[in-house]
Structure 1
Amino acid sequence: MQSIEERINEGDHYGALQTLKTLLVRASKKKDMERVGEIGRKGSILLLRNGHATAGLDVSLNLVEIWESSKQSVTEETKVIVQDINDAYMTGIKDKAEGARLNGKFLDAAIEWSKEENQKSNSYKRGDPLFHHLAAKAKLRAGDPGGACQHFVHAHQPKEFAALLFQWSNQGYQNERDMFLARAIFQLLAQENLKDANIVFDTFCALLLTKSIKLEAPLFNFVRFLLKTLERDAYPLFKVLRDKYAPVLRSDPSFDSFLDQIQVAFFNVKPQKKGMAAMMENMLGMFGAPPQ
């Protein structure tokens, strides 16, 4: 690695990049995953800290590709490597917005790799929570709170998620504050994460109190009742809630879809098909075809 550092210091970052790629391939062919991780970590960090952002991204993506093709498991060691490279993106690139953008590409690749590996253990099928947490923070540095929220849904950091929602909702119309909260809660519940949904709700409410803000909108009340209903495993009450608040829930076309997912996740009840889908199913039933 010393010769690579010397090349970088001499301004030959392209030569350093090609050497790093060659070393990664050799270590991969020998199935020396410890060596692969060390080369990828040190090489990425050297390039990023010396301002060679594109080359640093190239090496870090190459590392993740090798992990993926080699069926490398997500371990505490690989998580540390991802974190170390993530830190280099944050500190090594002068243009912070560009650093956050490139960092996001690296973390997206890490999340995809972790999705594939976690399928084997049936855990974190949406990707490792740590990687989602790092990606959420990268999105925030890039000025993309919406993108950050999508990662926070899977990051298992509900208090940070609630703080972001509160801050973001302050930038919108005050009468839409409940929409920010509802979307986040519904997404968490669709993942069967009732624990984090409750923490997000409670933390958001606590932040409202610090600013002496009262939130008594119908949608806010629906979310509060929904959480209590799911804790009680009360499907009849769930149906009553959906019917009673149907006019409010029509304010966002995605709400019905999320609530259908929640219904399946918590009560194992498939939603009834509507319109043409229901008509087609009835017609197929008349001819003895099994329901779709």
Structure 2
Amino acid sequence: MASAAAGIQKSLDRINAQVASGAFYEAQQMYKTVYHRCKARRQTEDSYAVLQAGAVTQLTNQQLTCGVELANMLIEAFVADGVKADAAHLGMVYAILRALPGSLQLADPDSTAELEELSRWVMAALKWAHKQGADDDVHTIHDVFAGWIWRAYGWRQFNKAALHYSRGADAAAYASALAAVSSQAGSSGEEDLFIARAVLQTLACAHARNAQRQLQHAAAVLEACTAVQPSAAQQPLVRFCELLLQALQLRKQQLLALLRGSYAPSLQLDPSFEAYLDTIEQVFFDVRPAGGSGGLLGSLLRGLLEGDEMDDD
């Protein structure tokens, strides 16, 4: 066993020399060769370690396409081998997430190609962890990836970060990012629009199986937002969210209907709000929205399903 480990380390040292010289493609092929060699010898854990090391090294060197390819191979191997989402194997996923470059050297700052590649890998990792019952880690992975999107892309891709923050557990981080985004992309007095959008999206992400959990997370997000932006606490949409959460906690559909009527002028400021509320009623009260799920509602639902590890249960 010791000689096998030494042989693998020698191979990794040679690959690191290729990386240091800038021969990233050649290094990629070598990582895959060593992985398949370990796999053929039934050195299963060593094969995983090679993929993790390769993904981390490539990502650290801004080689996102190469890094994500190896990261994908790792999750595919986990799924094929029925690997448990234990501390050791989840640690490999976290190591890859930590290796994501803090700032991207993009030829086109508005390009989302790299983000879409990474999102597909994160989605695969989330599904594997969820199916293995590691739901606490699922929430953490959402938070870590959301934080990376926010740091790497800023407000321009915050909608994608929000989809993950909404499924995470770090309400304070979400509130801090929201405050920054509202100051950069919003107008004075519009803080409640951003807060309400976050609360409603968090609730609309719920499934019947995790509705209570999402309700608690939405309440935590609202509390954190008002702590960060206390001046927003008296704004109409924040007050609406407070009352909405009470209606859901009390299972009072009639109260929700009254709130939608009373706050209609404020809700009309963002056409997504009514669509989110239709979805919330469907999840929490099993009420089917009138007119099916086409149009704006259908589009929003498709957006919410992006990054949803529970979608194919």
Task: Assess, with a 3 A threshold, how the Cα gap between structure 1 residues 69 and 205 changes in structure 2: closer, same or farther.
Answer: same
**Which structure 2 segments of 5+ residues have no match?**
1-11, 295-313
Counterpart for residue 178 of structure 1: 192
Equivalent pair of 1:169/1:176 in contact (CA under 8 Å): yes
* Displaced runs of 4 or more, over 6 A: none
| Residue 275 of structure 2 is aligned to residue 257 of structure 1 | yes
Query: Given residue 270 of structure 1, which amino acid in structure 2 is its aligned partner?
Result: V
Counterpart for residue 148 of structure 2: 138
Query: Given residue 280 of structure 2, which amino acid in structure 1 is its aligned partner?
Result: I
Give 2:175's match in structure 1, choosing from 162, 166, 174. Answer: 162
Query: Given residue 290 of structure 2, which amino acid in structure 1 is its aligned partner?
Result: K
| Residue 46 of structure 2 is aligned to residue 35 of structure 1 | yes
Query: Given residue 177 of structure 1, which amino acid in structure 2 is its aligned partner?
Result: E
Q: For residues 97-108 of structure 1, what are the structure 2 equivalents within 5 Å?
A: 104=115, 107-108=118-119
**Alpha-carbon distance, 1:197 to partner:** 1.0
Equivalent residue pairs, number: 270
Task: Assess, with a 3 A threshold, how the Cα gap between structure 1 residues 205 and 84 changes in structure 2: closer, same or farther.
Answer: same
**Which structure 1 segments of 5+ residues have no match?**
278-292
| Residue 240 of structure 2 is aligned to residue 222 of structure 1 | yes
2:229 counterpart SS class = helix
In structure 2, how many angstroms separate the alpha carbons of the residues matched to 1:69 and 1:239? 47
Task: Assess, with a 3 A threshold, how the Cα gap between structure 1 residues 12 and 227 changes in structure 2: closer, same or farther.
Answer: closer
Give 2:226's match in structure 1, choosing from 198, 202, 205. Answer: 205
Equivalent pair of 1:165/1:180 in contact (CA under 8 Å): yes
2:234 counterpart SS class = coil
Between 41-50 and 161-170, report the one with greater CA deviation. Answer: 41-50
In structure 2, how many angstroms separate the alpha carbons of the residues matched to 1:20 and 1:5? 10
Considering Cα pairs closer than 8 Å and 6+ residues apart, tell me whether 1 or 2 has the greater RCO: 2
**Alpha-carbon distance, 1:219 to partner:** 2.1
- Determine which structure has more spread, i.e. the larger CA radius of gyration: 1
Equivalent pair of 1:7/1:16 in contact (CA under 8 Å): yes
- Identity among equivalent pairs (%): 25
Equivalent pair of 1:166/1:204 in contact (CA under 8 Å): yes
* TM-score (normalizing by structure 2): 0.72
Superposed CA RMSD in Å reads 3.4
Query: Given residue 165 of structure 1, which amino acid in structure 2 is its aligned partner?
Result: L
Give 2:33's match in structure 1, choosing from 3, 18, 22. Answer: 22
In structure 2, how many angstroms separate the alpha carbons of the residues matched to 1:50 and 1:246? 51
Equivalent pair of 2:226/2:232 in contact (CA under 8 Å): no
2:193 counterpart SS class = helix
